[in-house]
Structure 1
Amino acid sequence: MSIKYNDVDWLEALNELDGQAVTVDVNRNVAANFNNTYLDQGNHRYGQQFLYNTLSVKQISISLKLTGSNAYFNEVANKIGGFLNVFEPKRLIFGDEPDKIWEAIPSGQPTLTTDNSTSPPTATLSITFDIPKSYAESQTQCLVDNTNNSRYGSITKISNDHYKVKLNNFGSATAYPKFRIKHNSENGWVSIIKSATEAYEIGNPEEADGKNIKKSEILFDYVSNNRITQGFEDGQRNVAILNDTSQDINGTLFLDGAWGRPHIALADRGTGTKGNRGGSITWEIPADSNGEKGSLNEYFWWRQIFWLGSANQYGFMKICVSDTEGKFLYGVETFKRAGGLGCEYNFMVSDGKGGYRMPLRWTFTGTHLDSQNPFNAERGWSDLQRRDDEIQVFWWGSYPRVKVPEIKGRKSAKIHVFFGDMGTSPQVTHMYLDSIVYRKDYIDGWEDIPNRYRMGSVLEVDMAKGKTYLDNLPTMDGLAYLAEPFGIETGETEIDIYFSSWIEKEPDIEVTWYERSV
């Protein structure tokens, strides 16, 4: 039986030396120690009151038989010592249960007992691991959705706003599911109920769909189904209105296909006398359903990539909004202007005098790592929301708001995206726009209003982490005060999912989890 710890196959590693190793025994025991906590009952003579029980740290012991020489045994001892020298629990997988992952850390004194009475000599290697979590987790994802039933359960539609979910947990410990809901029409509320005391509610159950005062409209959407290719065709080239005029704008853009998806990127920086040069694409904000152009209340979401290929690359990307008079209002820039891997992300607003100011500045490192770069290949989501003279900016999980009196009453008209190089330096390897969607809010004269969850939005509730995401961005907006993550016990669990009573189309519901075994 193979033993893999911290992604190293021990038998493979030991059998590459001048000897042979085989697994003799793996003792996983039955569950872990069960610890019961009781309360004394005062002057009551008999028994105690049960309070709760827990499973403490589980132990797994393994034994390997070694055949070879004393020199081989010493080599094995050195190598195993290195394998075990870890600072935190690592993945432990056994060949007879390759789907189960134990998070394990060595415990106690490993022993190596030699027997020179045999020919060739043999030795027994014994090691004990602690499993702090006391359970193993499956590598196979369990899936239940509302398109097909499976052995793991089913989702039954009671009505557009009510679904009955049955989940079968074949593990031997409580598992924590992830709920993924794609809205196929607007919605304002989601309630996931397991019992009277176990529920997760987000949104507003009283949110209406049809007030007679305001509404939102998506005026252009270059997000779904790689529609950035359509955005590339629709946009005007090299007419950008930016926060300053420090760049020549006559470069060439193209559609890059890195990682199997389309991106708008800079093909050629163009010519000019200024140090910075590049190309731009501009989208005019269309008229709303009332035929009115311009907006004081708006929201747009986009995905950009800004990932350096080397430390000597320089360049920048700007996403700016201009008004109906062709003047800069606000925007953000992503900049690499110095040696090394340091990059900037700056929020800019009009100063009302033909210039600009930067009320918010951040820095990041332009690598591929999630911990360093919010604009790497797998991420890049960002958004801006305007409420006349107040703008909300997203930065790495936070939503600071800035008052900008200089733009009060000035309506937005166009959105511009500029890709630029600095001097003759190599340009940033991955500087892309992958998608963008624009929404105008608080439009007069129609019955609809901006709902919390737009059509096409994806809400994810991760019960294991106790976190909620909307379109890949973390959110706590509308989270009920008593909302608590819950798990599904071994066997069958019934869950009810409710939506706003006026939801028009059936959402796509998906429930996934990983089984756990004690």
Structure 2
Amino acid sequence: MRLRHRGTQMKLNDYTVPPFLTISSISRPSAEVEFESSETASNLEILGNRNKETTITVKGMIRTGETVDKTWNTLTDIRDELMLHLYTDDDIAMTFSDEPDRIWYARFNGNYNPERINKRAAHVEWSFIVSKGKSKSTVNKTFQATKNSSGIWEFTIDNQGTAPVPIDYRIKLKKESGYIGLVSQYGAMQFGKVDELDSEIYKQNEILLNSPSFDAWQADTVNIQNSGNAINGSLKVTGNGDQPILVLDKVGSGTGWHGGVRTAEFKADSEGKKGSKNWYCYSEIAFEAWIHDQSGAITLCFYDKNKKSVFEFVIWKTTRDNYKTVVTWAGRSKVMQEITFDANNEGFNPFTADKGYFSIRKLGSEVQVHLFGKIYKDKDTSIENTEVVGCQVFIGQWGNRTVIDRNYISKLFFMKFIFEKTAVEKWRDVPNRFQPNREYYMNGSETKFYINNIPSLDDEIRGTQWFKAPPGETKVQLYVSDFSEIESATAEIREAFL
């Protein structure tokens, strides 16, 4: 029997239930509110409220049959397929074709039992528990900030849902600012300090190298990180879409690692001094293996004025029967971390081509690496006062593999590199906590503040209230320092419905 979709269709996460299911009715919840109270002899005090659990009930019929792509010969075939999508550890994102702009996050109650009509058909009634009693829109709404009649940057957020929702903000600056503030009638959020002292010696961070095009990276002949690596290949700049990237061009040859290197020296700071004892680096690297039998490596080596390694960050893979890959980093006298992960797209690979970001911060003898969603802290006293003057990147292949083919890592390239010297001593008369050329992101759901995708929790001022946008129109005003300029500012919500 050829099956065709009739009536409303149901989708569970990315799985559209095939036409073996014909839905006869759907009972969607409307939120119930449960109040918590305290009763005394004289009055009743309402302490709070929360949305109660509600239920979605789907009734219909399942029947055996076939489509162009697949055949279900028995009711057991149907059950086995549905079990893969009904029983999950997490909430299921449910959508229905008659309300395609709404998502319900729910869990199957576990009662699948069909009421058999005959051996080829059965009535079903399934229940799903909606823990928060509300659905969400499938799309985000974005609002641009503009100057109001008083010259203040202002968002007008229009929430046409029926429940308060978190607000995300993305802000870019033309000129540095000491603080960022967001104010509405429902609360205020502040990051950084409104008042900072003028006319004093202060310490500021300065970007000494920003590599969107890799013009500053010059070909070299010696691998500083490991002199045993054969440098008889070369690197080249190419493109990944509109983004310039640095990749392996000529593989070279050797019994161990072989490939090419490029070196970039950091410019002097604004006081004319070269060398950075304390510094911060933000970088993006792609390292994706699409088949088991692929190998390759990339290293970043920060070196001193004598071209000796101070700190190195290495990603490499030589395994031939799995995706196991190693990322490691080390100071001058010790290996700080060595972590194994799968470099494919099925597990948690932090170096996918659409992400790949990580950061390194050196403060005296301490090195902090932000990777895998956490911050690793280690110390090496031998580099406490050592200044780095540049960085070298090596990209290479292993052993007798001398061409770029299916055995080379499918996506291995250097995407972005920003080096910042911290604590440059200067005289100042204005604050400069937040620099231009960065994205400042406030995640309302997480209540976290990010700079260039990296959490920056210390910038949030005590007393900040992460307010939500209730149904209707909400005005939110954006404030920065008087000497600052805003390049762009957007707010984003996803409407929810009780």
Q: Secondary structure at the match of 1:406?
A: helix
* CA deviation after TM superposition for structure 1 residue 129, in Å: 3.0
For the residue of structure 1 that corresponds to 2:161, the secondary structure is coil
- 1:320 touches 1:416 (CA, 8 Å); kept in 2? yes
Q: Is the contact made by 2:64 and 2:74 (CA closer than 8 Å) also made in structure 1?
A: no
The TM-score normalised by the length of structure 1 is 0.81
- Structure 1 distance, partners of 2:337, 2:114, is 61
Task: Answer yes or no: is 1:394 the counterpart of 2:390.
Answer: no
* Aligned equivalent of 1:421: 397
Structure 1 residue identity aligned to 2:54: K
Equivalent pair of 1:221/1:437 in contact (CA under 8 Å): yes
Q: Where do 1:89-108 residues align within 5 Å?
A: 89-107=91-109
Aligned-residue offset at 1:368: 1.9
**Aligned ranges for residues 161-176 of structure 1 at < 5 Å?**
163-176=153-166
Distance 1:203 1:326, change over 3 A: same
The DSSP-based 3-state class of the residue aligned with 1:257 is strand
**CA 1:374/1:211 → structure 2, altered by over 3 Å: closer, same or farther?**
farther
Give the TM-score normalised by structure 2: 0.84
- Which amino acid counterpart does residue 132 of structure 1 have in structure 2? S
- Name the residue aligned to 1:365: 342
How far is the alpha carbon of 1:208 from its aligned partner?
5.3
The answer to whether the aligner puts 1:297 opposite 2:278 as a matched pair is yes
Number of residues paired by the alignment? Answer: 476
Q: Are 1:2 and 2:1 an aligned pair?
A: no
Deviation at 1:207, TM superposition (A): 4.0
How much has 1:429 moved relative to structure 2? 2.3
Change over 3 Å in CA distance of 1:383–1:77 after alignment to 2: closer
Q: Deviations over 1:347-379 (max 9, x none)?
A: 22224xxxxx3133222221124x521111121
Q: Percent identity?
A: 22
User: In the TM superposition, what whole-angstrom CA distance separates every residue of 1:244-297 from its partner, at most 9, and x where no partner exists?
Assistant: 31111131112343466332111222245x522110111111223333322323
The one-letter code matched in structure 2 to 1:64 is G
Contact 1:345/1:362 (CA < 8 Å) preserved in 2?
yes
What is the DSSP-based 3-state SS (H/G/I as helix, E as strand, rest coil) of the residue aligned with 2:389? strand
Aligned to 1:52: 48
Deviations 1:321-342 (A, max 9, x none): 2212222222211122444322
CA distance in 2, matches of 1:430, 1:448: 47
The one-letter code sitting in structure 2 at the alignment partner of 1:33 is E
Q: 1:320 to 1:64 in 2, by over 3 A?
A: same
Distance 1:105 1:440, change over 3 A: closer
Aligned in 2, Cα 1:476/1:48: closer, same or farther, shift over 3 Å? same
The alpha-carbon deviation at position 136 of structure 1 amounts to 0.8
- 1:473-514 Cα shifts (integer Å, max 9, x gaps): 223122234445332211122333332x24421242111111
- Change in 2 beyond 3 A, CA 1:102/1:143: same
Tell me the equivalent position of 1:349: 331
Q: How far is 1:311 from its partner?
A: 2.4
Out of 169, 188, 207, the position equivalent to 1:218 is 207
> Relative to 1, partners in 2 of residues 1:384 and 1:109: Cα closer, same or farther, differing over 3 Å?
closer
CA distance in 2, matches of 1:172, 1:125: 31
- Amino acid of the residue matched to residue 104 of structure 1? A
Summarize the alignment of residues 90-489 of structure 1 with structure 2, pairs less than 5 Å apart: 90-107=92-109, 125-146=124-145, 156=148, 158=150, 163-195=153-185, 198-207=187-196, 211-222=200-211, 227-228=212-213, 231=214, 233-258=215-240, 261-271=243-253, 275-339=256-320, 340-351=322-333, 357-369=334-346, 372-425=348-401, 426-447=407-428, 451-489=432-470
How far is the alpha carbon of 1:241 from its aligned partner?
Answer: 4.9
Question: Which amino acid is 2:205 matched to?
Answer: S
For residues 149 and 450 of structure 2, the distance between their equivalents in structure 1, rounded to whole angstroms, comes to 24
The whole-number CA distance in structure 2 between the counterparts of 1:250 and 1:306 is 22
- Separation (CA, whole Å) in 2 of partners of 1:140 and 1:266: 40
How many angstroms apart in 1 are the aligned matches of 2:385 and 2:127?
70
Equivalent position SS for 2:423: coil
Return 444-453 or 130-139, whichever deviates more: 444-453
| Separation (CA, whole Å) in 2 of partners of 1:374 and 1:157 | 46
> Which piece of structure 1 moves more, 99-108 or 165-174?
99-108
Partner Cα distance (2:331, 2:421) in 1: 19
Letter paired with 1:51: L
The 1:381–1:505 alpha-carbon spacing in structure 2 relative to 1, beyond 3 Å, is: same
Q: Distance in 2 between matches of 1:349 and 1:67?
A: 65
SS at 1:310's partner residue?
coil
Q: Is the 8 A contact 2:145 2:156 kept in 1?
A: no
Residue type of the alignment partner of 2:470: E
Pair 1:178–1:360, CA change in 2 (3 A)? same
Q: Which amino acid aligns with 2:106?
A: A
TM-superposed deviation, 1:124: 5.6
Q: Which has the larger radius of gyration?
A: 1
Cα deviation code 1:408-433 (max 9, x no counterpart): 44432221111122212433222211
* Equivalent-residue separation in structure 1 for 2:368 and 2:431 (angstroms): 17
Answer yes or no: is 1:13 the counterpart of 2:19. Answer: yes
After superposition, give the CA deviation of every residue in 1:149-186 in whole Å (9 maximum; x if it has no partner): xxxxxx64855xx5333312110112112111122222
Q: Which residue of 2 aligns with 1:18?
A: none
> Do the aligned partners of residues 127 and 81 (structure 1) sit closer, same or farther apart at CA in structure 2, a change above 3 Å counting?
farther
- The 1-side partners of 2:454 and 2:305 are apart by 31
Deviation of the 1:517 alpha carbon: 0.8
Change (3 A) 1:13 1:207: farther
Task: Report how far residue 407 of structure 1 moved.
Answer: 3.2
